[in-house]
Structure 1
Amino acid sequence: MTSISGRLIKGSMWLSLSRAIVNGLATLSTIVLAWYLAPADFGVVALGTTMLLIVSTVTELSLTQALIRHEAPKESHLSAAWTLNATRGLLLCLLFAACAYPASGLFEEPRLAGVMIALGFSMLLSGLTNPRLIMLQRELIFWQEFVLSVSQKLTGFVAAVAIAIIYQSYWALVVGTLVTQATNVIISYLVLPFRPRITFQHIREFFSFSAWLTAGQIVNTLNWRFDYLLVGKMLGGTALGYYSVGSNLAMMPTREATAPLVQTIYPGFSSIRDDPARLAAAYQRVQALVAAIALPAGIGVAVVADPLVRLALGEKWAPIIFIIQSLASVFALQTLGSLVQPLGMAKGETRLLFIRDTQMLCVRVPIMIVGLMLAGLQGVIIGRVFTGLFSALVNMILVRRFIGVTVLKQLSANMRALTSIAVMAAGVTLASGYLPHTTEKIMLAEQLAMLVALGAGLYCGSTLLLWMLMGRPAGPETEVQKILGKILSKVRPA
């Protein structure tokens, strides 16, 4: 496969396989940990993780994106990237250790200090990862990514589950993170050997690209993570545990369904950034395919959230049903404009991405605070629904500015998927109303299986019918045909 689309599809196939395994392990891990740990355990780790994400993003150097976009990176560029990342990781580790006890006192959570010290060490490990792996992404080669993703998730899963079963402690979440990060570092050098040397060359070259991108990431992280700190401080650890687990489960179907394609998009867009017509066509094709996958995954989980949560996690987690129903739908709908980030990066429009993130922060913060004050956790969720839909519209407007594709044309490219998902949601919701309420696991499993089968049938049937009625136009359906054709062409000789 020499074409960009061909390599994107091949890379997506490797990543799809890895994400299927990783997604399965992540889901199983969440279920097991939820049975053995309390919501407050998830809350204290969510506090530490949120602070770590904010601090790490504030100091993010965006070296990966800079190396991908560089025309011809040399060994000295890779060594400089490793040096900068390792230095940053060491400084963050020391900073987090120094702030651990003051933060523990601020949030009135004694366990937070140990969690922060351990998570700070994970940043040190993260800074040692092999930067040469980025060369594989530049060439759209992803089988090594499969090895890396599966191995680190598997070791982290085994460690977390073992600690949870034996000790039933929140340390299961922390140890799982540390083991995952350590495996990532070790495997990164095994799949692509590299001996870095300490050098601070090319710093100005790196920063000239990443300055606006880093600023945007700082604002974006504050935008999407400050609510965790707000909930943890105002509503306590148990409410934060519900909020954290519910948000993660709501995000998982959309993220895991689209990650294989999204991960290959930025290097693909970068390679054709100087061809406007080709870039616009590639964006529309990929975005329509991403939405066609994300919409049934996200909204499908939303409409079966009740039996799913009661079956997988138990009655003690029933408060997160509303969170999953609300946020899973929004995350799915946001994919209508979510590819604006790799598109803007490929075109070098990082300043506009920063302005977008800043504007969203100014809109989101007061809405979250007002929602919390008026309706508690439920008000925060409603605020996230509103701002999520508004964010999708802003992203689609930016796409129009970058490549000239109007918002109406973007929506029309996804009309079959949107119509089919409406049919699916209506049918499954109607069927759910006729099912008796139960807490028995066997009946819950039967209900869930029936609703999933009904939803899949309605979505696929509606999509196929609309596609045929419209004369089989080019779109996600033809992309799926091509992917299946390539798979079958490899299978038939065997």
Structure 2
Amino acid sequence: MKERLARGAAWLGATRVIVNLIGFVSTIVLSRLLFPADFGLVAIAVAVQAIVGSVTELSTASALIRHDDPQDAHFDSVFTLNILRAGFICLLLFGSAHAAASLYNDERLVDILYVLGLSALIGGFFNPKTALFARELRFAQEFVLAVPQKLVGLVVALAIALLYQSYWALIIGGVAAQFAGLLTSYLLLPYRPRFSLVHGREFMGFSVWIGLERAVGALNQRAAPLLIGYALGNAQLGYFAFGDNLAGLPTREATAPVSGVFLPAFSKVKSDKAVLRDTYQRAQALLCAIALPVGFGFAAIAHPLILLAVGDKWLPSVIVVQVLAGVFAIDMLWAGIWPVALALGETQLLFRREVINTSIRLPLIIAGLSFGALVGVLVARTVSSIVIFVLNMVLVRTLLDLPVRRQLAANGRTIGATAVMVMGLALLQQSIDFFRPGAVSIVSLALLTLVGAVLYGATVLALWIRAGRPAGPEETILSLLNRVLQSQRVTAMSQAVFGSHR
């Protein structure tokens, strides 16, 4: 299983690298063609769509992944449930369009929410059998499924932005990507849709608490954009939405190859708690060894990166990226709790956890917005993430009998090396007066990135050797690198041998 997980992670890694690159290019180019208020307007509509969608969340794909033996009747039931859900979402978005436009005093939201409603309806016809890819750890197909739809969305969005310089580029690009994904899902895995609810009650029983958890989670995550747009206007929301999206991009995409295999991996060892506990701790440590340096490193170079990529127009987003990139990295310290609880069937526990998280974050965001505007929201997000991080460590202890001290100790070297990297990058930028006019270039930004990578890698390796080379993420990464190098040597030898006989 380790070999299959490693191959799956490699395919997911390749997928996320390309998707990440496409997403980054899309964000940068569109931010040059559009204005902050455009991003703010779309952020309001997307937040409404996310909340409406999460209220009706069924998590049927997760149910299929953890199912012992899904048959055609199960896929037909999932397909039917997804269609019913999509139709309900479409009606809710249609019904809420005028209310949202009135609340934010912007009639453009009506047409945007109508289009997003139709987009949700399209998504309901997605091929449910694609859940087999994750269930059977066949992540090469995930590559074929994800990359083309992202490319289609990018091309359509850029075409509309270049021709019309309109916020519709952000909306239509997303709809085009979804439609491309729908077509690809049936090309990859043939499936003849049939309407059936034979196993509908089974999936609803599994999904009810997940649906409630996702609904509360959407409110938790989407409350800030809605409140900022209402209190501060579209322009300020545009700066926040742009920075929020950019800040999460590197951490989310860099960790996807690891986190993407958590649920199928944990589901396969869920019957043995000791093995599950060990698997969780090793996987979580590896995730953090990637997330912390990527997130905090991105925060450290946010100012020169934004200045170079999108110019002075977006400088108010710098502080958003600097704060939230670190917050997203901290959140990765407990990211494995959701797939563990799902594998164990503890869906009600996930709902209670999300209620507690929201009851902490939402009041802090409202208070921060009231007293400190956009900066206050960022402070609230930071404080709430730290508090929620502690609470989730306690929850992991409950689920897996894994003491909080051991959870933190597994990430101690990663935390120390990340701190050294951030301090080194800060000193380097100050010492060479990095922000004087004309100082920022692709070469200087690449130099900063290289210095950060070397600082982190050298420090974490030194700490690992000093600790006696214990089992941990360093051992896993070195083992993977060794396998890659060995496979390259074997390939080179084969070419030499067969080449000599030509």
Is the structural similarity TM-score above 0.5?
yes
> Shift of the alpha carbon at 1:134?
0.7
Q: Percent identity?
A: 43
Q: TM-score, normalised by structure 2?
A: 0.96
> Are the aligned partners of 1:19 and 1:256 in contact in 2 as well (CA < 8 Å)?
yes
1:406 pairs with 2:403? yes
Alignment coverage as a number of residue pairs: 491
1:196 pairs with 2:197? no
> Shift of the alpha carbon at 1:18?
0.7
Instruction: List structure 1 runs of 4+ shifted beyond 4 angstroms.
Output: 437-442
Task: After TM superposition, list the pairs within 5 Å mapping 1:16-55 onto structure 2.
Answer: 16-55=13-52
1:281 pairs with 2:288? no
Give the counterpart of 1:179 among 176, 179, 189.
176
1:254 pairs with 2:240? no
1:225 pairs with 2:187? no
Task: After TM superposition, list the pairs within 5 Å mapping 1:5-20 onto structure 2.
Answer: 5-20=2-17
Per-residue CA deviations over 1:383-438 (Å, capped at 9, x if unaligned) read 00000111111111111111111111011111111110010011111111123254
The change in CA–CA distance for 1:420 and 1:437 in structure 2 (over 3 A counts) is closer
Q: CA RMSD in A?
A: 1.3
Equivalence for 1:324: 321
Task: After TM superposition, list the pairs within 5 Å mapping 1:55-454 onto structure 2.
Answer: 55-436=52-433, 438=435, 440=437, 443-454=440-451
Partner SS state of residue 417, structure 2: helix
* Distance of 1:123 and 1:340 partners within structure 2: 28
* Distance of 1:101 and 1:264 partners within structure 2: 41
> Are the aligned partners of 2:52 and 2:92 in contact in 1 as well (CA < 8 Å)?
no
* Distance of 1:441 and 1:143 partners within structure 2: 43
Could you tell which deviates more after superposition, 484-493 or 285-294? 484-493
> Shift of the alpha carbon at 1:449?
2.2
Letter matched to residue 56 of structure 2: T
> Are the aligned partners of 1:338 and 1:395 in contact in 2 as well (CA < 8 Å)?
no
Per-residue CA deviations over 1:322-356 (Å, capped at 9, x if unaligned) read 11111111111221111101111111111111111
Per-residue CA deviations over 1:179-207 (Å, capped at 9, x if unaligned) read 11001100001111111101122121112
> Are the aligned partners of 1:246 and 1:323 in contact in 2 as well (CA < 8 Å)?
yes
> Shift of the alpha carbon at 1:488?
3.1
Q: TM-score, normalised by structure 1?
A: 0.97
> Are the aligned partners of 1:438 and 1:444 in contact in 2 as well (CA < 8 Å)?
no
* Distance of 2:73 and 2:193 partners within structure 1: 9
Partner SS state of residue 472, structure 1: coil
> Shift of the alpha carbon at 1:135?
1.4
Partner SS state of residue 357, structure 2: helix
* Distance of 2:284 and 2:160 partners within structure 1: 41
Per-residue CA deviations over 1:150-185 (Å, capped at 9, x if unaligned) read 111111111111111121110110111001100110
Per-residue CA deviations over 1:76-118 (Å, capped at 9, x if unaligned) read 1101101110121122223312322232122111221111111
Partner SS state of residue 197, structure 1: coil
Structure 1, unpaired ranges of 5+:
none
Structure 2, unpaired ranges of 5+:
492-502
Partner SS state of residue 492, structure 1: helix
> Are the aligned partners of 1:92 and 1:123 in contact in 2 as well (CA < 8 Å)?
yes
* Distance of 1:144 and 1:437 partners within structure 2: 44
Per-residue CA deviations over 1:226-248 (Å, capped at 9, x if unaligned) read 11111111111111111111111
Letter matched to residue 49 of structure 2: L
> Are the aligned partners of 2:308 and 2:440 in contact in 1 as well (CA < 8 Å)?
no
* Distance of 2:183 and 2:265 partners within structure 1: 28
> Are the aligned partners of 1:307 and 1:447 in contact in 2 as well (CA < 8 Å)?
no
Equivalence for 1:468: 465
Letter matched to residue 449 of structure 1: A
Could you tell which deviates more after superposition, 203-212 or 36-45? 203-212
